[in-house]
Amino acid sequence: MDRDETLTPGSGTLRGAVPRAVARLLRMREGMLLLIIAVLFVGMSFASPHFLTWGNMRAILMSFSTEGIVVVGMTILIIVGGIDLSVGAAMCLAMVVAGKLFLVGMNPWLAGLIGVGATGLAGFVMGLFVTGIGLGFFITSLAFLGLLRGLCFIVTEGTPLSLFTLPPSFKFIGQGNVYGVPVVILIFLVVAVVGDFLVRNATVFRRVIYVGSNENAANYSGINVRRVRLWTTVLCSSLAGFAGIIFMSRLGVATPTFGIGSELNIIAAAVIGGASLSGGKGSVLGAILGIGLLSLVTSSMILLNISIFWQETIRGLILLAAVSVDHLVNRHR
């Protein structure tokens, strides 16, 4: 980096601006992921006649849309320097709480709202343990993973709640289409775009970035570090609850075992997307591309008749490659 150049507005000449822009895009995580996705896309279009069809595209999008909502929350939480292993259980909790309330006669919309509220409350309590007592995010959320999952079993008494009586208006969220595009995908796109925009531009999320980058410096900038951490935790849990309600509408059933293991996929997506587990760094867009890539790979493997047993291994390798590249690049700085 040229340090002697004095500070001038709009530094940089037009000459070579275009290749530089491309180089910059590729240096950014999002650009890199887009490139990989594009290569896979082109390759798969030739490899399989079923790949480049609307039906397949829709299936791929559907496969990660709902979890993608949680990825947005997880990315923000990772930026602040936290992590939440309980999101899978939180999704399930919102689902079974809402399902149970609906079955005892509550309006499904109100029940859904209370389901999201329940996960938000769980996130708040978890955040209090982290910011108030000073426990680590990892171990606290591990405890909450057990706690919330246990609650799911208690609420359902261990059996799936059949919710086929949900009114069509409610089922529309999870199963309906607008001009042929599933509502689930639309909701996901809105959350992702708004989330990405806000993380880049809102002062609230700028404070999240400050806290994640350097907690001490944030404190010396007059930022209430604990409050920022607490509400980021609540946000992540609430988005997980929201995703759970969408799943409920989509599946028409609330299963106490739903979402087991999905936290790993969600965290992996955020990290592949460029979020650093040491905080201060991460991109919602990158994380969305990350989970998109994971889904694309899975779907490609199915189309190519590769054994399903390889899926987890390949995902593990992708994650390992992403963090290794990250580490090497940062070390050379």
Q: Tell me the closest approach of the beta carbon of residue 155 to another protein, in angstroms.
A: 37
Q: Tell me the closest approach of the beta carbon of residue 76 to another protein, in angstroms.
A: 16
Nearer Cβ to another protein (203/313): 203
Nearer Cβ to another protein (56/214): 214
DSSP letter at 307 equals -
CA distances from 7 to 11, 18, 123 (A): 8, 22, 44
| β-pairing verdict for 181-182 and 177-178 | antiparallel
Nearer Cβ to another protein (54/332): 332
Contacts to another protein by CB under 8 A: 1-9, 11, 201-204, 206-207, 209-210, 213-214, 216-224, 280-281, 333
Nearer Cβ to another protein (39/204): 204
DSSP letter at 84 equals -
Nearer Cβ to another protein (9/49): 9
Cα 44 to Cα 50: distance, rounded to the nearest angstrom = 9
The residues pairing with 163 across neighbouring beta strands, listed in sequence order, are none
Nearer Cβ to another protein (2/157): 2
* DSSP labels, 238-293: HHHHHHHHHHHHHHSEE-TTTTTTHHHHHHHHHHHTT--TTSS---HHHHHHHHHH
Q: Tell me the closest approach of the beta carbon of residue 12 to another protein, in angstroms.
A: 8
Q: Tell me the closest approach of the beta carbon of residue 217 to another protein, in angstroms.
A: 5
Question: How big is the chain, counted in residues?
Answer: 333
Cα 247 to Cα 90: distance, rounded to the nearest angstrom = 12
Q: Tell me the closest approach of the beta carbon of residue 158 to another protein, in angstroms.
A: 40
Cβ–Cβ contacts within 10 Å for residue 124, how many? Answer: 15
Q: In the numeric block, which tokens belong to residue 199?
A: 């993380």
Q: Locate tokens 């006649």: which residue? A: 49
